[in-house]
Structures are given as C-alpha cells and as structure tokens.
Structure 1
C-alpha cells in the first residue's frame, strides 16, 4: 500500500503548481481512507495505473507542443514562414487555460524559428489548441462565437489536442461544419492529436471503452440500485469480454468502477439539490452514471472525471458539501 501511495504522489506532484499544497503521501493516504476498506487496494492499484498512462504533466505537454512546432507534416516544408502567417486562437469563453497553452506554443515557435505567431489576428489559417477533448461542448461553444463574430469569410482551422474521446470528436466535427454553414462561411477544419491518445467512449464500443463504464452487477449494491431508480433512463451496462484494455486492467476493472461509483453516489448525497449535470462518475448532460473520463492534467482535474477524484475543498467546514470529501486533485473552480 505504501509503495502505491508513494507512486501516486510522485505522479501528481506538479499538479496546479502546488496551489493546493504538497500532494505528498499523507495527502494520498487521507484520500484513500475515505473508501470502503475492501476497495482501497484496488482503487490505489488502478488509480496508479491510469495516472501513469493518462496524466498529462507539464513536461509531457511541452514535448507534444515541441513536436508539433517542428513537424513538417503539420507545418509544411517551410516552418518559419508557416508559423509567421498563422493566427493562434485565444478565444475560450471560460477560464484561462487556453491563454497558457497559446503562450507555451508561441514561445516554442519563437525558440525554434525566431518569430511569434499572431494571436486572434487576420490569417487564412487559424489554430485552436487545448490539452484534451472530452464531450466537445466547450470547443463548440468557443468556436460558435468566434465563427459568428470574428472568423473571416474563408479560412482553415487546425484543431490541436493531445488527445480526445471518440464520441466528443465525432460530435465536434459534425457541429463545426454545421455552424460554419449557418454563418455562411467557407471554413475547413482538420483535427490533430497523438494517435495513441484517442480514447473510446462510444455506446457501440462500450465493452472495449476507455472510460468508467460499470457492469450490471453494480445494481446489486443498495446505494447504486437507489440511484438507478432515480434516473429517467436506465443506464447501459458494459459487458466484460476479457480483452486487454490500454487504460484499465482486466481483472480489477469491475471492482474499481464499483468503488468509484459508490463514492460518487455518496458525494452526491451531500448535496440537497445537485446540478442535473453532476453525476457520480463525472459531469455529463446525459442521464446515467456520468462521463467517466480517465484523463488528468497538471492544469486541472477535469469535471468529466469521477467525483471521487476532485470533489471537495478542505478549507470548507464539514457541514458544507465541499467539506465532506477530501479530493485527490482539487479543482480550481466548480463551474460546469
């Protein structure tokens, strides 16, 4: 147990630049002790596993940006001229995450070619960058406003992410084409990411998914059964198939999902009237257990991840819903 706790602490040590204090072994121990005793080892084993695979550290993101800037496939055979004529989109409506990433990208361009790309300027080629795409709702919201108010009548947009969920990128591709047409603008889009960081969350491939997607056996747990009864639409369950999964271990996945689901339902019970998008396994606008993301970033823990990872704020009293659960990776805000 001590080895696992030490390993998890080592992975998340750069989270939010220690805004929430030192995420040391004591911190991880305090978090894990909130789970049922029979689940603690499995939660530690699997959390350690998915963090090592899907935690986007600052160094990892910098390496991705560096590779992008120098890639001839992305920037053509004349990269200096390419970057000198690009406009970087800094258009996110909520938060400042895109500003940070645009700055990282522009600094890398300058380091390699001695030029700085335009930001929100006039160009035939624009780049929208973020670290990861989940549902796609934020990107669509940002781009809808930009397309209607700022985009030229004709241009190309490169959407750049380290990775994405397949359900989200499908939704984005469909919606952005539609928005451009509605605004009578000739905009072409191309989508870029690391090929091995394209994760599956589609219903048709649920049994091979890379998100928390519980099996039907969780309905035997009293708290889960009550939660299911409260839903308008009954959830679709994953069926174990014994196949190797690049995110979860085959033999521990079911217990891990059940443990995180039980914890999320417990957290929801702290709230008198939770927002309808707040689900045990992460924010989601659809009925069910939640989005179930398994991706983390040094900048913030996505609210699409199970509540047990990020819910809570130890500065609140134990009488407040935020004070009743100690988070592994506290979020900087509680916005949607």
Structure 2
C-alpha cells in the first residue's frame, strides 16, 4: 500500500467519527478504502484526500471554538451582550437526525457556564438562533424554517443563522427563499447569516472555473459509461476550464485527475444498484441535473450526502447480495428514515 504515512494521517483526522458508531477508523480502515481504486490512482486519491481533510474536516473542537466566537460576537448580540443571552431563544426545529441537538448542547453548556443562563431552547423571544455546522444546498434549513415561520414565529423578529461555513450559491438561495417564506406568511423577519469568512466556498455556475467543489473538466468524457450516464441525466454539461489560479481547497497538480477518479468511481457505484433515486449523482446528492453537488466538506457528526459517493456510500455489514456490500466507505453515513 503506497503512502502508509498519509493513510495514518487520514486515520488520525477521522478518529472518533460519529463516536466510533461504525467501528474504529484506524490505518487499516483507510487502506481498505484506498485499495478499491486502481494502483495507478491510489497516490492521487490518498494525497489529495489528506490535503482536503486537513482543512475541511469539521471537528468537535472546531465547532466548540465557533461557539465561543459567537458568544463574543458583537454582530450577534449587537452591543447588549448580557441582556441578549438572557432573552435569546435557541431554535431546536431540525426534523432529521440529532445534529442540531448536539450542537445546541455545546452552545447551551458554554452560555450557562459564562452567564448562568438556563432553558434558552424554544422560549418566547423576538431574537432567535438557528445553529448548524454548514449550509450546502440549504434545502434542509428551508424545510425546517418553513414550518417554524408558518406556525411558530412571531410577527416580528430577528433570526441569526450561524454555521461554520457555507457554499455561496446555497447561502444566497437560502436567504432569498427565507424572505419569500416570511412574506408568504405575513411575518416581518430579519434573517442574519454568520460564519467563518474563510469557510465560504464558491460553487456558483458563473464561477465554475474558480469553484471550491469538485467540478470536472472535459477529461471525464472518455470514461466508460459516461455517454450512457449523460443521456440518462439529460443536461448540457458545463465543464470546468483549467485556469492556473491557485485554489484554497485543491492542489493544482492533482485536481483534474482527482476529479476524474471521483467521478469514475461514482459512476461505478451508481451502476451497483438499479434503484437509485433521481438525486443520486456520481459527485454527491443534488436536486439539480448534473455531475452532483461535489462538496468536499466533512464533519465529525456525519458525512454529508452532498459529498461524492466514494466517501460514504456502502455498508460493510450489508447482506452480501445487497449493493451496499459492494463498496467500502471511508466515512459511512447514518441515514434517517
């Protein structure tokens, strides 16, 4: 196995993922995942994956640091720090999974220690916080907020949506949709978004050549099965053009080959099942026609399904006759019914 040191470093980064729900992610786990790629592809896969995980794996510590920054942010409390934390309401309205509960617990614990404040979740207020780790498409946030705005939000209030980061198109779309929902239900709601400024990632179409997601070049067109997939997907592909500009997520030397590999094996994985939903794409779930979302952001809580299939698709404990047994994931996803 090439680059054992890099495999070991990846293992160190993902240790404790989902509190070891899927087992201990040691070096042999990483090597088993890498071994599924062709030998001449493994060096690119392991080195680029390590580079990306180093900066884009959201750890429990990084989220705790965000919470402390939020508590001290004048942008959030607007000069009324002590009074703000005595009166603000923390929203707990996420429908799927327990991620918001887990993140809210961190904020509540920190605030209670610093301000002796209790019971800030779901109380009456005109100031609200919606806490999550990242905005991808924004679909989940919109679904959560739609019901709350329609049935529970006061007629006038401010909602601070706080995340570690976001994708530019997802945040822009979410902000505009939220304004439309509030208007639909006759609510005067001021939505404010806050995140680390260096974790706002580019994924807009007109900026595709500067994108910070996987966005393949035309080199993928000669992959086996690409033509059949493109006919089924039925869209006009917009390929990224290599422009030589440094990218904060990807290495310039490996990016094009890495995208091609991720797409190639995404196609392979899609071919393992005849029951794929229309949102399943080689580079991750997406409601839009195309290659897939292409996110390369990871979290200690769960691997986003907006990431390429090669990272999270599959289940080593699945029945051998089930498609999930045919691919070994690096970061297995917890799915919600």
Q: TM-score, normalised by structure 1?
A: 0.97
Matched, 1:3 2:24: no
Q: Who is 1:44 aligned against?
A: 46
2:170 to 159, 163, 168: 168
Deviates more, 1:63-72 or 1:254-263: 63-72
From 270, 275, 278, give the equivalent of 2:277.
Answer: 275
| Equivalent pair of 2:129/2:159 in contact (CA under 8 Å) | yes
Q: Which residue of 1 aligns with 2:25?
A: 23
Give yes or no for contact 1:84–1:117 (8 Å, CA) kept in 2: no
1:127 aligns with 2:129: yes
**Could you say which residue in structure 1 is the equivalent of 2:193?**
191
* Partners of 2:16 and 2:24 within 8 A in 1: no
The runs of at least 4 aligned residues of structure 1 exceeding 6 Å deviation read: none
- Is contact 2:96–2:336 with CA below 8 Å preserved after alignment? no
Greater CA deviation, 214-223 or 175-184? 214-223
Structure 2 length normalisation: TM-score?
Answer: 0.97
Secondary structure of 1:222's match?
A: coil
Task: Give the aligned CA root-mean-square deviation in angstroms.
Answer: 1.1
Q: What residue in structure 1 maps to residue 159 of structure 2?
A: 157
Q: Secondary structure at the match of 1:236?
A: coil
Cα deviation, residue 230, structure 1: 2.1
Q: 1:141 aligns with which of 135, 143, 165?
A: 143
Q: Do 1:83 and 1:117's aligned partners in 2 also have CA atoms closer than 8 Å?
A: no
Superimposed CA distance per residue, residues 181-208 of structure 1 (whole angstroms, 9 cap, x where no aligned partner): 0000111111100000000110000001
Over residues 231-276 of structure 1, what are the superposed CA-to-partner deviations in whole Å (9 max), with x where a residue is unaligned? 2113211000011000000110010001111111111111112000
Count of residues paired in the alignment: 335
SS in 1 for 2:189: strand
User: Unpaired segments of 5 or more residues in structure 1?
Assistant: none
Match of 2:115 in 1: 113
- How does 1:1-336 map onto structure 2 within 5 Å? 1-116=3-118, 118-333=120-335
Determine helix, strand or coil for the equivalent of 1:245: coil
Superposed displacement of residue 334, structure 1: 6.0
Deviation at 1:318, TM superposition (A): 2.6
Q: Distance in 1 between matches of 2:302 and 2:68?
A: 21
Following superposition, the deviation at residue 117 of structure 1 comes to 5.1
SS at match of 1:260: helix
Q: Secondary structure at the match of 2:225?
A: helix
**Aligned in 2, Cα 1:73/1:181: closer, same or farther, shift over 3 Å?**
closer
Native 8 Å contact 2:91 2:130 kept in 1: yes
